[in-house]
Amino acid sequence: MPLVRRVLLLALLTTTAAFAQETPPPDSGSTPGSTAGTGATSISGQNTIPDPWTAFGGQQGLGVGIGIGKIGGDYWASTQINTDFSIGKVGIGLALPLDILVWNDEDSGCAGATASPQVKCTRDDKAIGGWIRRPSWNEPSDFFKLIRYVRYGHKRDPFYVQVGQQWSASIGHGTIVSRYNNTLNLDYTKVGVALDVNQPFFGFETFTNDVLNPQVIAGRVYVRPLGETPFLSGWAIGLTYAGDVQAPFYFQRDATGNVVADDHGHAIATDARVQSVGGIDMEFAVLDNSLIRLVPYVDFNRIFGAGNGLHAGVFSDIHLPVPIIDVSLYAKLEYRVMGDGYIPAYFDSQYEQTRNTYFFLAPAGVGGADANGNIAAPKALAARYIKGETTGVKQGWYGELAGNIGGFVTIGGTLQDYQDQPGGQIGIYATIPNFSLVKVLGYYTRSNFTGLGEAFKIDDRSLLGGTVAFKVFGPIYLSADFRRQWELDPSGVFTTKDTYQFGAMSLFHF
């Protein structure tokens, strides 16, 4: 699902900012949290890779626009009509996106470009009828991009379900499934489902990244033994299971060592298995009122076939009673103890890429390492390599901090670091959605690095993006957008794809 169309360009009216929307956003799974209080997982915090519509403040309405952007070496005109609206607890997001080939780069974008001898790429190689971008509409699932999401309720309601795009789906405290994003693939539309039930004495959370071709499935059941007892109702015990039912271990490769893809551009795995992760957790809401929620928790998890991990942390929501303007803060601090082969938050925001390409310290005698001694393999296989090559327990910290000032500015970040393996992860985001003259959104995230000195290195382990829109007159905005996403390129190599877009849009509020 090309980002050029989904991102900003037009229709801006949705919302996913977890903090301060007057109209509740499409939760998309929310961020890691607690079962304390009245609901399943907390909506507090923010996702590292936010929904692009967040830049426009989550307002209901209709957006129409056109823009010129670059995907690889080609230039495309993107047209789109989007609408988002809510009726009671029901929310719906619709879209009509089209990418039209304006200028064809004959030296890139098709399998022939990397062949020997090189074969020039024609318009028909890339576009249906030479005009409509072929990877965007080459399989039945692509037609689901017309419906971005359908939602009933919100996280922590007695009943909640969202079908479609999942920008930040989490289960429990986020130690196994954390901010899962099913929209990272540039050309493959996935229809995810998050469904929760929350009652005073029990509840459950469920998630799958794609109901049409399920890869990741997850669920958590929890009980509150003292669910209606004053001061003790915040005690909860939970069990979590998550699994990749098609986890790749090895891919088919050609004579040059490149990964072989099928007719739809999906890598062909010669060895795919079920990779399971399970855990047990306990929490107790020390405070839970209109001003503050303070919840300590402990999770013990196991990656089957690899290692065990212990997470002990606390998170807090704080709503400051500042006159005139609402101020909200969210903080989370977690200490981690990890056995050999354990990877915390295994199904994280970048799992759609790291399931195929995960960086770790190269085992002894294995070639192909980079300058830092790291090598890449599918994540399930990497966990087993790590288990076999490391000894002793590793320790590390994970933290989140975010703030929202009256819905005008939201800024925050996440940081993970632990010993030995390149398990560092950083995420930074900011949105300025509610100024009428300018709208701004930006994010940066990088994973699997060693040491803070590598945190801001831009490479295939980095994702970043930004949106800026300026009001010209009335409802008309001029916009500029940049996004980096992953794809399997025509040579069979997993790589990042940068897209740029410039255009105009018009917004009409309901």
Q: Once rounded to an integer, what is the mean pLDDT over residues 128-156?
A: 89
H-helix or E-strand spanning residue 412: strand 409-418
Average pLDDT over the chain, rounded to an integer: 80
Q: Once rounded to an integer, what is the mean pLDDT over residues 294-323?
A: 93
> Where in the sequence is the domain holding 265, given as residue range(s)?
3-509
> Which of 289, 296, 284, 297 is closest to 318 using CA atoms?
289
* Cα 94–Cα 215–Cα 274 angle in degrees, nearest 5: 170
Rounded to two decimals, what is the model's pTM? 0.81
How sure is the predictor about 52, in pLDDT bands with cuts at 50, 70 and 90?
low
pLDDT exceeds 60 at position 427:
yes
* Cα 248–Cα 191–Cα 304 angle in degrees, nearest 5: 35
Which ranges in 335-414 belong to alpha helices (H)?
A: 351-354, 379-389
Retrieve residue 70's tokens.
């670059």
> Which of 277-291, 353-367, 379-393, 422-436 is modeled with the greatest confidence?
277-291
> Which of 213-217, 347-351, 491-495 is modeled with the greatest confidence?
213-217
Stretch among 15-29, 153-167, 486-500 having the lowest mean pLDDT = 15-29
How sure is the predictor about 275, in pLDDT bands with cuts at 50, 70 and 90?
very high
pLDDT of residue 284: 95
pLDDT of residue 45: 36
pLDDT exceeds 90 at position 98:
no
How sure is the predictor about 250, in pLDDT bands with cuts at 50, 70 and 90?
very high
pLDDT exceeds 50 at position 26:
no
pLDDT of residue 316: 93
pLDDT exceeds 50 at position 9:
no
How sure is the predictor about 391, in pLDDT bands with cuts at 50, 70 and 90?
low
Round to whole Å and give the CA distance between 39 and 222: 11
**pLDDT tens-digit profile of 335-363?**
999 998 899 999 998 898 889 888 777 66
Verify cis geometry, omega within 30 degrees of 0, for the bond prior to 344: no
Stretch among 43-52, 85-94, 406-415 having the lowest mean pLDDT = 43-52
> Which of 473, 446, 470 is closest to 458 using CA atoms?
446
**pLDDT tens-digit profile of 239-248?**
999 999 999 9
> Which of 192-201, 224-233, 470-479 is modeled with the greatest confidence?
192-201
Number of domains the chain is built from: 1
Round to whole Å and give the CA distance between 441 and 101: 27
pLDDT of residue 13: 26
Reduce the DSSP state of residue 488 to 3 states and report it: strand
